[in-house]
Amino acid sequence: MNKIFPSADAALKGVVADGQTLAVGGFGLCGIPEALIDALKDSGVQNLTVISNNAGVDGFGLGKLLETRQIKKMIASYVGENKEFERQYLAGELALEFTPQGTLAEKLRAGGAGIPAFFTKTGVGTQVAEGKELREFDGETYVMEHSLVPDVALVKADVADKAGNLRFRLTARNFNPAAAMAGKVCIVEVEKIVEVGELAPDDIHLPGIYVHRLVLNATPEKRIEKRTLSASVDAAAAKVEAQTAIAQAAAGSEAPVKAVNKKEGA
C-alpha cells in the first residue's frame, strides 16, 4: 500500500469534511503540521472541532483557521498567545473546552489505546469536574474523563519510512504520537522519507500501523512562537490581565481583574 501523497492537498482529499473533529499535533508552534494546516484552510471545510494543545498564534498555525472561521470549537489546554482566539471566545463566537494539559494528553492516549474513559485527580473540586462522575479510590476522590477519538489526526514527524513508521524530533514528540494513535485516520507531514529498513527499530517512536497517509514537507517554516529578548513589567502585566479575563469568562465570573506585578509585591 502506497501511503505517500504528492501534496498536502492531495493527502487531505476525500478525508476531511464539514463538522469533523480533528486532532492536530504540536506544542506551541513546535512540531505543528504547517503544510497540512494550510491545506485544511484551502479545503474550505467548516464547523470543525479541533483538539490541540493550543490554538497557534495570530496568522500562523491553527490561528489561520480561526481567522477564516473554520473552527467552531477548540478543545485545548492553553490559548494565551492568540488575540483572535481571545476575541472570538469572549464575543461568544467560539466554543471552548478547557482541559488540563496532562488530562488532554491522556484523553488522546487513552483514545488510541481503546480505553473509553479513565479516572484522574486533576480537576477535582474545580469547574473541570462539574457534571462529571466522581468516584473514590483508597479514600481519594477522582473525576472520570472520557477519551478522545477524533475523525482525523494531522501530525508532524521528522522522518518516516515508506511504511509509515515515524521518528519525532525533540519537543515534537509531546502531543504528536498521542494524536496519531487516537485519530481514526492519521495523516502525517514529514521532513524526510526513507526506505523501509533505514530506520533502526529503536529509532521508531510510532509504528506505521497507525499512519494512513504521508506527505513530504522538506522545508517547513518552523516559526518561533514568541521571541523574547526582554520584557517590560507593563507588558507582562497586560498579558496576565488578558489571560485572567479568559479564565474568568470561562468560569462565568464578573469579578474585576487586576494584574499584579513584582513592584506591587507579587
Predicted pLDDT of residue 223:
78
In this predicted model, what pLDDT tens digit does every residue of 48-77 receive, in sequence order?
A: 999 999 888 889 999 999 999 999 999 999
The whole-angstrom separation of Cα 30 and Cα 19 is 26
| Residue 220 in this model has a pLDDT that exceeds 90 | no
| Residue 219 in this model has a pLDDT that exceeds 70 | yes
Domain 4-216 class?
Answer: alpha beta
Domain boundaries, the chain: 4-216
Predicted pLDDT of residue 259:
45
Non-local (6+) Cβ contacts of 33 within 8 A are: 24, 25, 26, 154, 155, 156, 187, 188, 189
CA distances from 73 to 62, 105, 230 (A): 12, 18, 34
Predicted pLDDT of residue 53:
92
Percentage of residues in the chain having pLDDT higher than 70: 91
Per-residue pLDDT band at 221 (split at 50, 70, 90) = confident
Per-residue pLDDT band at 248 (split at 50, 70, 90) = confident
Q: All 3 cell numbers of residue 170?
A: 525533540
Predicted pLDDT of residue 232:
63
Predicted pLDDT of residue 265:
41
The whole-angstrom separation of Cα 85 and Cα 90 is 9
In this predicted model, what pLDDT tens digit does every residue of 96-155 receive, in sequence order?
A: 999 999 999 999 999 999 999 999 999 999 999 999 999 999 999 999 999 999 999 999
| Residue 171 in this model has a pLDDT that exceeds 50 | yes
CA 215, 212, 172 angle in degrees (round to 5)?
60
The whole-angstrom separation of Cα 194 and Cα 200 is 11
Predicted pLDDT of residue 19:
97
Per-residue pLDDT band at 257 (split at 50, 70, 90) = very low
